[in-house]
């Protein structure tokens, strides 16, 4: 399984691997929104938590269909299914690899982009905390969505439609954490709910995704 | 460690293609599956490997004993030959020594640092088949292994299979060409074609449809 993680990370950073795709998208959103909304600091400060979270979510969504589609096309998913690696483990590892090349860079880049959006001072800590807690859920839920459409040609749109509703709770609580944090309010409740969603997704969805892949490989 | 199949029926796309199939593959033996296109060779192999459920019947296989080589080689074009193979060696837990041996055996040593994207079709195929060697598994399930191999490579691969049989392994091979494995038994799948498949065949003779031919 470590070999699978190492391979996925290596493929991601080689040419055409898609590393930085999500990050570049996130950067574009954060740069373009102030241009579109205008330079009023108070307006931007009010919408910053939401914009940053929506940007991060869409950036994650961008690279999801690659999680399994490439392995399916070149036949390595078949071979993985017949290997000693349990499919549940393979799904978890591939979701982890997706998070390492997408969610983690987004989390680290977010404070820098927060400056562009006039995010109030206390919000930076909670922005990083909420993204660190929330983006793993985005990757795991996304892996589940990708598993559902593996084998379909042009499954990307269908996958987005399936995954976006599942992303909504993470988005709501994630943005709420930043919003409250920026306003200096108590963040414990949305933070606990955000962590709960992530924990639940991590515990359950690898099994669901593995089952979906087995059905799709038939 | 033998592979036994009893009264097996397999289906593709919900239509049973083969039924009542039975055979035993003992260690040290090779079984060549023959039959026209669409008879269900690939479906049978995928069922044996557990990629799809059997309609009915029994498959008794050694646990984690099958190594499957499908039409697709499962290569990552951005990884080089050695990295591709090393990944599968790590997955199957066999280690770098097995990789070096497999590269040597499949005549890929000189290409070890080349990216899979830059290999020819036959070289890709050899790399795909080298994965069998690093899997360390006793029963090889091969689906058209000789596609895009030249005569020399076919002979090379036949030698690899023969060595594998000599070490107590076995091989189930779906192929149309003669691998030169004289000791291999041959199983023609045509008599096991399912009745529903025959029905579909009969529709093909429909005079109405025949008018369009």
- Give the pLDDT of residue B13: 84
For chain A, the domains span 2-217
pLDDT along chain A (218 residues), means of 10: 87 79 91 90 91 94 88 90 91 94 93 91 92 95 94 87 94 94 91 96 95 92
Contacts of A4 in chain B (CB under 8 A): 87, 91
| Residue A7 contacts B where some CB pair is shorter than 8 Å | yes
ipTM: 0.85
| Residue B140 contacts A where some CB pair is shorter than 8 Å | no
Q: Position of tokens 């399916």? A: A72
Q: How far apart are CA A169 and CA A175, in angstroms?
A: 10
- Give the pLDDT of residue A108: 94
Chain A residues 83-142 with a CB less than 8 Å from chain B: 83-85
- Give the pLDDT of residue B196: 59
Torsion angles phi and psi, residue B80, rounded to 5: -85, 175
Q: Helix-strand-coil percent breakdown of chain A, rounded to 5?
A: 80, 0, 20
- Give the pLDDT of residue A91: 95
Instruction: For chain B, list residues with pLDDT below 50.
Output: 197, 213
Q: Position of tokens 């660190």? A: A132
Q: Which helix (H) or strand (E) holds B141?
A: strand B139-143
Instruction: Quickly count: other Cβ atoms within 10 Å of residue A190's Cβ.
Output: 21
First to last CA, chain B: 50
Which of left, alpha, beta for B168 (phi over 0: left; psi -120 to 50: alpha)?
left
Which runs of consecutive H residues, i.e. helices, occur in chain B?
41-48, 81-92, 96-105, 121-135, 151-166, 195-204, 207-210
Q: Are A84 and B93 in contact (CB under 8 A)?
A: yes
| Residue A151 contacts B where some CB pair is shorter than 8 Å | no
- Give the pLDDT of residue B213: 45
Q: Do B74 and A2 touch (CB under 8 A)?
A: no
Q: Do B70 and A79 touch (CB under 8 A)?
A: yes
Q: How far apart are CA A9 and CA B118, in angstroms?
A: 21
Closest to A75 (Cβ–Cβ): which among B72, B78, B83?
A: B72
Question: Model's pTM, two decimal places?
Answer: 0.89
| Residue B73 contacts A where some CB pair is shorter than 8 Å | yes
Q: Do B74 and A74 touch (CB under 8 A)?
A: yes
Closest to A11 (Cβ–Cβ): which among B76, B88, B92?
A: B76
| Contacting residues for B203 by C-beta, under 8 A, at least 6 apart | B209
């Amino acid at each position: 399984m470590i070999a699978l993680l190492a391979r996925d990370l290596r493929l991601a950073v080689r040419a055409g691997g898609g590393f930085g795709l999500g990050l570049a998208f996130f950067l574009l959103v954060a740069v373009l929104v102030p241009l579109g909304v205008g330079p009023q600091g108070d307006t931007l400060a009010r919408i910053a938590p939401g914009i940053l979270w929506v940007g991060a979510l869409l950036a994650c969504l961008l690279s999801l269909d690659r999680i399994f589609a490439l392995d399916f096309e070149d036949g390595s998913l078949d071979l993985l299914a017949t290997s000693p690696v349990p499919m549940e483990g393979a799904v978890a590892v591939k979701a982890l690899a997706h998070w390492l090349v997408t969610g983690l860079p987004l989390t680290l880049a977010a404070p820098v982009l927060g400056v562009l959006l006039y995010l109030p001072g206390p919000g930076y800590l909670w922005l990083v905390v909420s993204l660190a807690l929330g983006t793993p859920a985005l990757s795991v839920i996304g892996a589940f969505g990708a598993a559902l459409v593996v084998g379909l040609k042009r499954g990307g749109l269908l996958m987005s439609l399936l995954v976006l509703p599942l992303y909504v709770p993470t988005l709501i609580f994630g943005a709420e954490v930043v919003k409250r944090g920026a306003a200096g309010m108590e963040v414990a409740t949305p933070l606990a709910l955000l962590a709960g969603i992530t924990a639940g997704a991590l515990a359950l969805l690898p099994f669901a995704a593995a089952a979906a892949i087995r059905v799709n490989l038939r | 460690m033998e592979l036994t199949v009893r009264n097996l029926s397999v289906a593709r796309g919900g239509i049973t293609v083969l039924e009542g199939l039975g055979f035993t593959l003992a260690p040290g033996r090779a079984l060549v599956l023959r039959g026209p296109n669409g008879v269900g060779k690939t479906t049978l192999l995928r069922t044996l490997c557990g990629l799809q459920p059997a309609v009915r019947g029994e498959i008794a296989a050694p646990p984690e004993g099958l190594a499957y080589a499908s039409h697709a080689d499962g290569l990552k074009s951005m990884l080089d030959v050695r990295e591709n193979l090393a990944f599968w060696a790590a997955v199957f837990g066999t280690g770098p020594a097995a990789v070096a041996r497999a590269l040597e055996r499949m005549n890929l040593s000189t290409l070890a640092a080349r990216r899979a994207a830059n290999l020819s079709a036959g070289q890709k195929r050899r790399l795909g088949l080298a994965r069998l060697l690093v899997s360390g598994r006793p029963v090889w399930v091969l689906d058209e292994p000789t596609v895009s191999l030249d005569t020399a490579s076919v002979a090379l691969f036949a030698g690899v299979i023969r060595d594998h049989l000599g070490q107590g392994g076995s091989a189930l091979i779906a192929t149309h060409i003669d691998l030169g494995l004289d000791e291999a038994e041959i199983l023609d799948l045509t008599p096991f074609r399912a009745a529903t498949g025959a029905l579909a065949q009969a529709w093909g003779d429909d005079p109405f449809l025949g008018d369009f031919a």
